[in-house]
Amino acid sequence: MKTAQIYQDKIIIKDVEDITLDGRKGAIVKVLGCGLCGSDIVKFKHKIAKDGVVLGHEIVAEIIDIDSNTQFKKGDRIVTSHHIPCGECNFCRHGNVSMCYHFKKTNIIPGGFSEKVFVSEEHLKNVARLVPQGISDEEISFYEPLGCCIRAIKRCGLIPGDTALIVGLGSIGLLMAEALKALGYKVYGCDLIPERITLANKMGIKAFSSANLNEFSAIIREKTNDYGVDSVFMTSGADKAIDVALKTVRQGGKILVFSSTPNNNGYANNEIYYKELTVLGSYSPSPDDLKDSFELLTTGKVNVKNLTTVYPLDNIQQAFDDTVSNKIFKAYIKIG
Ligand SMILES: [Zn+2]
Ligand SMILES: [Zn+2]
């Protein structure tokens, strides 16, 4: 089977021996396609992934061999995520499921950018889902990334009528905006790249340039009765985005950190204190968030059409390069 492996600063297509069940409970799936996640890009760009690693986790796949006590059977088209929390440890009991050691240890093998993958019985039981007809492989591949957004939104504890601002309108920012809209909140967006602002507006997200921060914060004040927004979602990977958040969040509001930034700068201590702000992170989804994500996608409440650019597995390097250079929003690697 073909796999895409990391070697230094390249991604090489390698033929390796087919993965088989080999006595394990679970399923061997033929990967139909796999979304390219921002976290894959970070692992590649910052050389976090070791040589030989197969990245990718946003898979849509067809079961070709199975030994399982679940309802799944050969021929089923499924989606799955890659990590599963134990549900019992100190992290899990506090709702920090993505910090759970078991969560971090579990994975699909060898990784999504592969013609075949082993999906364990634990995955089948907890996070895999049968995909109904009528939704495309590309659309349902947003199962895991949308789950990430839903968890972030839940962590902000918004109430009906609340207003959110998305700082950074890349694919995950647009997805976050779509999810917030679907859940009934008012959403604004900002970015520095004009094409992104245009696309967001086309999708029905009121988006503005934040290049002139004073002008932009005046717009937000005007739209929010001078309060500022209840929650700011930081989907931008730029250090400067922090200034945007502090300037637009209302007193007592929340700033949800959803991306790393190059200089790893902090939020100003005194603003957090005097404005009673909450700055919090959200990383990866829980099984409950994935359930909600599946529901939103399969009922069409969140629209992810036209967000992806498709690349064949042999061209995966191009998909990484085009994502890094902001040429495209979201790459989907078509495999099977
Ligand atoms: Zn992902
Ligand atoms: Zn746990």
Low-confidence ranges of the chain (pLDDT < 50): none
Cβ atoms 35, 141 nearer than 8 A: yes
Region of residue 215 (phi > 0: left; psi between -120 and 50: alpha; otherwise: beta): alpha
Beta bridge partners of 3: 14, 114
Tokens 């009121």 -> residue? 206
Q: Among all ligands shown, which has an atom nearest to the Cα of 92? A: 2
Q: From ligand 2's centre to the CA of 277, what distance in Å?
A: 28
Q: Among all ligands shown, which has an atom nearest to the Cα of 99? A: 2
Q: How far apart are CA 51 and CA 47, in angstroms?
A: 9
According to DSSP, residue 301 is labeled: S
Q: From ligand 1's centre to the CA of 298, what distance in Å?
A: 18
Q: From ligand 2's centre to the CA of 8, what distance in Å?
A: 33
Question: Which domains are delineated in the chain?
Answer: 2-142+304-334 (3.90.180.10), 149-281 (3.40.50.720)
Task: Tell me the residues surrounding ligand 1 (ion) with CB < 5 Å.
Answer: 37, 144-145
Cβ atoms 55, 4 nearer than 8 A: yes
Which pLDDT score is estimated for 49?
85
Q: Among all ligands shown, which has an atom nearest to the Cα of 105? A: 2
Q: From ligand 1's centre to the CA of 271, what distance in Å?
A: 32
Q: From ligand 2's centre to the CA of 152, what distance in Å?
A: 19
Q: Among all ligands shown, which has an atom nearest to the Cα of 144? A: 1
Region of residue 151 (phi > 0: left; psi between -120 and 50: alpha; otherwise: beta): alpha
Q: From ligand 1's centre to the CA of 145, what distance in Å?
A: 5
Q: Which of 276, 237, 239, 273 is nearest to 258 (CA)?
A: 237
Q: From ligand 2's centre to the CA of 95, what distance in Å?
A: 9
Q: What are phi and psi of 236, to 5 degrees?
A: -95, 145
Which pLDDT score is estimated for 46?
83
Tokens 């634990």 -> residue? 122
Q: From ligand 2's centre to the CA of 105, what distance in Å?
A: 11
What is the four-CA torsion angle of 163, 168, 169, 175, rounded to 10 degrees? -60
Q: From ligand 2's centre to the CA of 241, what distance in Å?
A: 32
Task: Tell me the residues surrounding ligand 2 (ion) with CB < 5 Å.
Answer: 85-86, 89, 92, 100
Which pLDDT score is estimated for 237?
86
Q: From ligand 2's centre to the CA of 128, what distance in Å?
A: 19
- Look at the chain and count its residues: 336
Q: From ligand 2's centre to the CA of 143, what distance in Å?
A: 22
Q: How far apart are CA 292 and CA 274, in angstroms?
A: 36
Q: How far apart are CA 197 and CA 251, in angstroms?
A: 27
Q: How far apart are CA 315 and CA 63, in angstroms?
A: 25
Q: From ligand 1's centre to the CA of 268, what distance in Å?
A: 30
Q: From ligand 2's centre to the CA of 104, what distance in Å?
A: 9
Which pLDDT score is estimated for 9?
86
Q: How far apart are CA 244 and CA 235, in angstroms?
A: 12
Which pLDDT score is estimated for 326?
87
Q: From ligand 1's centre to the CA of 239, what distance in Å?
A: 22
Q: From ligand 1's centre to the CA of 288, what distance in Å?
A: 16
Using only C-alpha atoms, what is the Rg of the chain? 20
